[in-house]
Amino acid sequence: MRRIFTSLIFLVPMIIMAQTPIPNNSFENWTNFGSYENPTGWDSPNYEISSIPFFGTTVVTKSTDHQGAGNYSVRMESKHITLPPLDIPGFISNGNLTLDIVNMTYTMTGGEPVFDQPTHLKGYFKFLPKGGDSCLIAIGLFKRNGLVRDTIAGGFFSTKDTIPDWTPFSAWIDYDSVVQPDSMNIFAFSTAQQVVTPGTVLFLDNLYLDYTVGVNKLDPKTGISVYNDRETSRLLVFFDFPEPQPVSLCLFNMMGQQVAALPSSRIQNERRIIGYEKLPKGVYILEILHSGQKYCEKYFLKN
């Protein structure tokens, strides 16, 4: 028993290290660019709008109002610029952000490496909206495919509620594919809607990625993978075949009764969904018929 316990002590740090960290997730480190600061490793529209003659300002600033340990958080404020007349939200991205002031459009590229498949983006926030404003905190996961960057998954959190105290948030990440992503882009807006209300403020601190569910690969050779999404009570079944194949899916309870099914169809690179939100909590068997073979996997499902 003592040997097993000692092994577990050394195993836990290895598991934690394998998960993807978010650089400067608590916004403790800031880079000074003269007329403005940005949290180190994060981009903002501060460069573009601080360069406006006579009317330059910043919408992202360092705040000593923070959550937990540390000294700082990031503060984003929606502001009005007199010339040219613009209402612009405060926003950040851990990728490269380019703002077109004339057309009020922006592009976000790049991002940080990701080494696994997180299920949630979590952290702490405060939100002080004006005039029915809403905020947005979001994440995108991507995979480079030649010159194209494919979107693998994404998730977001948004609210219109006034949150005057530090409060945890959770953005569930929805996967369109079980392909391993190689980069992530996290971004946050003090205003998430088209009409910006000056004076709206969003604070953000202590971001992290969570791993509460995962992908179960029935057999890597089959090209079939299953993602048990407990948050939305769905089994997401992913198929990656070299050519279209006839496939059918059935879900059985432990009495052998069929409780859900998807009719047979020809599938190649697609996703199928079986919802179990109306089923009682218990053990179920997912049966997949493919190319004359049967694959079965047992799941404990609860809504």
Q: What gap in Å lies between CA 265 and CA 191, rounded to an integer?
A: 43
SS3 259: strand
- What pLDDT was estimated at residue 293? 81
Q: What gap in Å lies between CA 126 and CA 201, rounded to an integer?
A: 8
CB burial of residue 52 (10 Å; 0-12, 13-18, 19+): middle
Give me 40's structure tokens: 């180190």
Q: Decide the pairing of beta strands 258-275 and 79-81.
A: unpaired
- What pLDDT was estimated at residue 58? 93
Query: 210 to each of 14, 259, 291, how far by Cα in Å?
Result: 16, 31, 36
pLDDT tens for the 303 residues of the chain, in order = 333 323 322 333 333 334 788 999 999 999 999 989 999 999 999 988 888 877 778 999 999 999 988 999 999 999 988 877 888 899 999 988 776 766 666 677 778 999 888 889 999 999 999 988 999 999 999 998 888 889 999 999 999 999 999 999 999 898 887 788 999 999 999 999 888 899 999 999 999 998 765 555 555 567 888 888 887 888 888 888 888 889 999 999 988 899 999 988 998 888 889 999 999 998 899 999 887 788 888 888 886
DSSP track, 115-133: -S--SEEEEEEEEE-STT-
Q: What gap in Å lies between CA 174 and CA 141, rounded to an integer?
A: 10
Chain-centre distance for alpha carbon 16:
19
Task: Specify the pTM.
Answer: 0.74
Chain-centre distance for alpha carbon 129:
23
Q: What gap in Å lies between CA 34 and CA 148, rounded to an integer?
A: 36
17 Cβ partners below 8 Å, 6+ apart? Answer: none
CB 197 within 8 A of CB 261: no
Q: What gap in Å lies between CA 42 and CA 268, rounded to an integer?
A: 39
- What pLDDT was estimated at residue 220? 55
- What pLDDT was estimated at residue 102? 61
Query: 228 to each of 22, 114, 244, how far by Cα in Å?
Result: 25, 21, 24
Backbone region of residue 72 per phi and psi (left: phi > 0; alpha: psi in -120 to 50; beta: other values): beta
CB burial of residue 163 (10 Å; 0-12, 13-18, 19+): middle
